[in-house]
Structure 1
């Protein structure tokens, strides 16, 4: 993807980094294609990256508007979308990374998620913002006011029912 905003871990070690992110129209079009949207007319995010153990913590929110195809009427429609960003990342080889090499991993469903392990000392903040956008998109979009009215198919008459009508006029 062409939209990338990189923050290095050593930049975060000096103090929090506040970012106001807004992709260009071309970048929004690419994000829309990637997420299988009709379009992404508006998309903005505010993210703060601050030190956390030997890694970083990303916190913020995003707002935007997505255009999708209604699953009922098959017409395009736009809807507002927003969400929160809250995650932690650690560098490769960190002792705070969750390992799954043969051992059991205990997960607390009410606790925070395990930190993501980065491939290097660079954090692509834009990629995390797009990932959180993808999680908020309705996989079964429905245009406001669209209702699905089911009509049962007419019962087919079997050949035997048709023969019965010929032989028994009361049927």
Structure 2
């Protein structure tokens, strides 16, 4: 869970939780983004506005050193319609489940019989995410799961691409055929 553009930059929505405070019994954490954090998320997600972002997260130990983060994220966004560019409101309501392990943990490695091939099950669980130090940023994890649920092509209801026609087979193009010059060539 790192920002690839600038590792020193703080994510717009952050809520660090000390791993040492997490026990085998699940702990419930409720997080919500404030105005400043929602503006930062809107910039990162390239949407017009993030009206709300909240999550209820359950944290528990996983195996010896890992932490299981499970919860529900809810968000309300305003995006630009891909047809008219008018504002379109959308709602996100997603469940998530992620395992975090300390950096360098053997639990994060995929054990394969052949070192040259890695087999991943697309329907199976995700690989554990590594964290550095003694804390996991729950806010950043919630923001990532919300970002994955954003509709990449929002469209206002009832709006279609009716006015734009690429080309039709029966219409004549004014451009010359690039292969027309080759029609008189014959191979000897």
TM-score range (shorter-chain normalised) is 0.7 to 0.9
1:140 is displaced (CA, Å) by 1.2
2:84 to 73, 76, 81: 73
Mapped contact 2:80–2:87 kept (Cα < 8 A): yes
* Mapping for residues 51-90 of structure 1, pairs under 5 Å: 51-53=61-63, 54-90=65-101
Q: Give the match for residue 44 of structure 2.
A: 34
Q: Is 2:118 the partner of 1:105?
A: yes
Change (3 A) 1:158 1:39: closer
Change (3 A) 1:12 1:148: same
More helix per residue? 1
1:126 to 134, 139, 143: 139
Per the normalisation by structure 1, the TM-score is: 0.82
Aligned length: 159
Distance 1:99 1:87 in 2: 16
1:13 is displaced (CA, Å) by 3.0
RMSD: 2.4
Cα deviation, 1:136-156, whole Å, max 9, x if unaligned, reads 011111111111103466755
Change (3 A) 1:40 1:158: closer
Distance 2:149 2:110 in 1: 28
Per the normalisation by structure 2, the TM-score is: 0.76
Mapped contact 2:13–2:143 kept (Cα < 8 A): no
Cα deviation, 1:34-68, whole Å, max 9, x if unaligned, reads 11010001211111111101210010011121110
Distance 1:155 1:71 in 2: 29
Computing the radius of gyration over CA atoms, which structure comes out larger, 1 or 2?
A: 1
Structure 2 gap ranges (5+) = 1-10, 177-188
Q: Which runs of 4+ in 1 moved over 3 A?
A: 150-159
